[in-house]
A and B are shown apart, each in its own frame.
Chain A
Amino acid sequence: MKFQSQKIAYWFFASAMLLLVLQIVYGFIMGFARIGMDGLHEWIPFNTARAVHTNLLVVWLLLGFMGSAYFIIPEESDRELMWPKLAWVQLISFLVVGVVAVIGYHLNYWEGRKFLEIPRSLDYLVVVNVLAFIANIGMTIWNGKRYTTTSIVLFFGLFTAALLYLPGMIDFDNQTLDSFYRWWVVHLWVEGVWELIMGALLCYLLIKLTGVDREVVEKWLYVIVGFTFLSGILGTGHHYYYIGAPKYWLMIGGIFSALEPLAFLGMAIYALAMAKKGGRRHPNKTALNWTLGSAIVSFVGAGFLGFAHTLPQVNMYTHGTLVTAMHGHMAFWGAYAMINLAMIAYALPILTGRKLWDNAASAYGFWLSNIGMVGMTGALAVAGITQVNLERRMGLDFLAVQKEIEIHFVGMILAACLFFLGICFYLYNFWRFGLPTDEAASSDVRAAEELPTVS
């Protein structure tokens, strides 16, 4: 760690981990409700559990991104953060808004639009909060000693993510228009600007962990995010097939969203190629595992499993079934959860000055959580495909079909236990690092992290 103000990142990461655990708890509540164990229905009905589960996911991922930005930007710009105190205020207020929203969901206080359940009054606070964040890192870059592609792409991703939150706040009486603009947030986030953030984090980690020359790594970053927007923007059409929008979206959405996996494929090849070029010389193998893992699992979860139901002919039958949930889990996990966990695994030794790079717990954390996630995805896939065939293709009743597929949720819960065990190992490691220290900024600790560059 070079700058004292980077330490704030630790607290963002720690809050993110706390919310991850809560997210999983609510995931289990839903999993059990689906096998008939819905004893909590009176207090936490399914829609509450779901809103909490998905919103905590988004909030902890955003906290992770913000923490990563507060960690990366000072270093890339070669100066202290512009306003370290503002970062604290921003963290605390963000958490307060999150907690109020979650409590609200238990009291039927929400907006009832998938993924954007946060009620309008709190939306404004989110906007102010994110503006403070953007201003803080923006001014740091502006006044910095150097501009790097990594920091520019990261900033651009975060800035447009903030901007795209706004269309989700327009009100319509027409359900179709409501849905139309909701996707400007949800789709253009995960299949657009968040990929920029992911790309920038990946790029930063690869530079640090493989020692490959920055110019080479950053050049390919542009190519990949170029592909992201080339396919992802018009790919939004894959959500416009069957919501009451014109028919031309079937063609446009079908063609361009079918190209989207290329960006993820590019990301995976890029990461593997850089790792091969640089060699595995960095002592922090755990961080490299998570980095490469993220690039690969995001291709499988987002690219491959997304492609599986993106053509309009297929989507007609899979639209709004558990097939979507299957894809949603692995895509979010691979692309955004894993890249955050990679960033955290990389940053912790540097923030705390403790060299616990590699140990059994970190390996268990990586493998158990990933094997668990593959199992969960598999269970949801079998449930989803069965649902599509019985309900959408043979025309059996919804609830009767749900009874038939209940058993796959037993499988999903078992896999989720494995997954959660992996997360527990990861958190145990997190805890062992302890708090960030001032000494971590001293030069001899830093020396161990620096690799000689290969070009």
Chain B
Amino acid sequence: MLTKLQAKVFFLGGTAVFFGIFLVLSFDTHLKVPNQTNAANITPAVAAGKRIWEENNCMGCHTLFGEGAYYAPELTKTVETRGKDWLKIFIKDPAAMFPGQRKMVKYNFTDEQIDNVIAFLDWCGKVDLNGFPAKPPLRDKMIAAAPQMAVSSGPPPLKKPVPAVFTTATCIGCHQIQGQGGAAGALIGAPPLDDVFRRYDRAKLVAWIKDPPSIKKDTKMPKLYGLAVNDAQLNEIVDYLLSLNPETAATPSAAPTAAPAPAVQPK
């Protein structure tokens, strides 16, 4: 039968051996981490962003690298999916973009601080996390199994270069337009916008973009009007989306008879 002394030796010996192995592995990890995390890219802006991240305890709501709290979205890949422009606008006033949703704190960051936070999150997104976060394995199966969405009828929309306003207004982060963009929207059901002219006329488009939640409660499309979109940009967006309609384009609407009525009356 085991004696007390043997038990003691088992405890002390085991502890010493395994702690020794742990120290060696930790040392090795310490040497390898800089390479795996692209430590060379930790610029002063990234370091400053990390300090802002800590000083405000963002981890008390969010996870980063899967660590933190479970109240708000995981942020490791947020720069990749949302894009920097969108994040800039969002952080300035989170509730404005998602009215009525779960609340984030509204911080009074300067533009520079926001840039630093985004630089930090951008660096985080590029760290090699051994495959985390995994691509949702059932997603493709679900899409394959779902009955085909109502195929839009009629001639295909026109091909036209996408104006810059779709980038500055962040639409392209969520919506695919002319085959571009759409990374963040894929997860939340943001449809491509090329054939939206079939479903919306000018008035409806304007009303929707101005205030999506007022038309469809709980929609995932944020209210960007007043944040990323002003009246002139709204007009430009709506003009472009309607101009993709091959039917109206075929009739030489270039005839300057009826100049398009401005979507929005300037205030």
Cβ of A220: which chain B residues have Cβ within 8 Å of it?
A: 7
> Could you say which of B2, B73, B128 contacts A219, with CB atoms under 8 Å apart?
B2
Per-position 1/0 for B38-55, Cβ under 8 A of A: 010010001100100111
Q: Is the CB of B69 within 8 A of A236?
A: no
Cβ of B218: which chain A residues have Cβ within 8 Å of it?
A: 403
Is B147 close to A, CB under 8 A? no
> Could you say which of A117, A149, A320, A387 contacts B67, with CB atoms under 8 Å apart?
A320
Is A427 close to B, CB under 8 A? no
Known: A226-B11, A400-B220. A250 touches B130 (CB 8 A): yes
Is B89 close to A, CB under 8 A? no
> Could you say which of A48, A177, A218, A229 contacts B14, with CB atoms under 8 Å apart?
A229
Q: Is the CB of B2 within 8 A of A319?
A: no
Known: A113-B59, A219-B4, A245-B36. A240 touches B29 (CB 8 A): yes
Known: A226-B14, A243-B129. A112 touches B33 (CB 8 A): no
Q: When chains A and B are docked, how far (Å) is the Cα of A236 from the Cα of B29?
A: 13
Cβ of B156: which chain A residues have Cβ within 8 Å of it?
A: none
Q: When chains A and B are docked, how far (Å) is the Cα of A241 from the Cα of B65?
A: 10
Cβ of A252: which chain B residues have Cβ within 8 Å of it?
A: 25
Known: A173-B50, A243-B67. A394 touches B128 (CB 8 A): no
Known: A243-B129, A394-B138, A395-B139. A47 touches B60 (CB 8 A): yes
Known: A112-B55, A179-B65, A243-B66. A316 touches B131 (CB 8 A): yes
Is A96 close to B, CB under 8 A? no
B57-101, CB < 8 A from A: 57-61, 63-74, 98, 101
Query: What distance in Å separates the Cβ of B33 from its nearest Cβ neighbour in chain A?
Result: 5
Q: Is the CB of A112 within 8 A of B22?
A: no
Q: When chains A and B are docked, how far (Å) is the Cα of A381 from the Cα of B208?
A: 39
Q: When chains A and B are docked, how far (Å) is the Cα of A316 from the Cα of B132?
A: 7
Cβ of B120: which chain A residues have Cβ within 8 Å of it?
A: 175
Q: How many residues of A contact B (CB 8 A)?
A: 74
Q: Is the CB of B71 within 8 A of A33?
A: yes
Cβ of A48: which chain B residues have Cβ within 8 Å of it?
A: 57, 60
Per-position 1/0 for A349-378, Cβ under 8 A of B: 000000000000000000000000000000
> Could you say which of B8, B18, B30, B68 contacts A222, with CB atoms under 8 Å apart?
B8
Is A114 close to B, CB under 8 A? yes
Q: When chains A and B are docked, how far (Å) is the Cα of A105 from the Cα of B15?
A: 37
Is B261 close to A, CB under 8 A? no
> Could you say which of A47, A117, A223, A396 contacts B58, with CB atoms under 8 Å apart?
A47
Q: When chains A and B are docked, how far (Å) is the Cα of A403 from the Cα of B188?
A: 14
Cβ of A346: which chain B residues have Cβ within 8 Å of it?
A: none
Known: A175-B124, A234-B18. A242 touches B66 (CB 8 A): yes
Q: Is the CB of B74 within 8 A of A320?
A: yes
> Could you say which of A46, A180, A242, A397 contacts B220, with CB atoms under 8 Å apart?
A397
Cβ of B28: which chain A residues have Cβ within 8 Å of it?
A: 246
Cβ of B105: which chain A residues have Cβ within 8 Å of it?
A: 45, 47
Query: What distance in Å separates the Cβ of B28 from its nearest Cβ neighbour in chain A?
Result: 7
Known: A173-B50, A218-B4, A316-B134. A244 touches B127 (CB 8 A): yes
Number of A-B contacts (CB under 8 A): 213
Known: A113-B59, A180-B29, A322-B70. A394 touches B22 (CB 8 A): no
Per-position 1/0 for A226-262, Cβ under 8 A of B: 1001100110100011111111111010000000000
Q: Is the CB of A112 within 8 A of B56?
A: yes
Q: When chains A and B are docked, how far (Å) is the Cα of A105 from the Cα of B59?
A: 13
Q: When chains A and B are docked, how far (Å) is the Cα of A249 from the Cα of B30?
A: 13
Is B10 close to A, CB under 8 A? yes
Known: A173-B46, A219-B2, A223-B2. A50 touches B60 (CB 8 A): yes
Residue of A nearest to B54 (CB): A112
Query: What distance in Å separates the Cβ of A192 from its nearest Cβ neighbour in chain B?
Result: 10
> Could you say which of A45, A322, A402 contacts B103, with CB atoms under 8 Å apart?
A45
Is A392 close to B, CB under 8 A? yes
Q: Is the CB of A321 within 8 A of B70?
A: yes
Cβ of B14: which chain A residues have Cβ within 8 Å of it?
A: 226, 229-230
> Could you say which of B3, B8, B32, B65 contacts A175, with CB atoms under 8 Å apart?
B65
Is A110 close to B, CB under 8 A? yes
Cβ of A320: which chain B residues have Cβ within 8 Å of it?
A: 63, 65-68, 70, 74
Q: Is the CB of B130 within 8 A of A247?
A: yes
Interface residues of B (CB under 8 A from A): 2-4, 7-8, 10-11, 14-15, 18-19, 21-22, 25-26, 28-30, 32-34, 36-37, 39, 42, 46-47, 50, 53-61, 63-74, 98, 101-103, 105, 120, 124, 127-139, 142, 187-188, 218, 220
Known contacts A320-B67, A395-B135; 16 further A-B pairs (Cβ under 8 A): A30-B71, A36-B102, A38-B102, A105-B57, A108-B56, A112-B53, A114-B67, A173-B42, A175-B37, A176-B127, A240-B29, A241-B132, A243-B65, A246-B29, A393-B139, A399-B98
Query: Which 4 A-B pairs give the minimum distances between C-beta atoms?
Result: A47-B60, A395-B136, A320-B66, A242-B132
Interface residues of A (CB under 8 A from B): 30, 33-34, 36, 38, 41, 45-48, 50-51, 105, 108, 110-114, 117, 149, 173-177, 179-180, 215, 218-220, 222-223, 225-226, 229-230, 233-234, 236, 240-250, 252, 316-317, 319-322, 324-325, 387, 391-400, 402-403
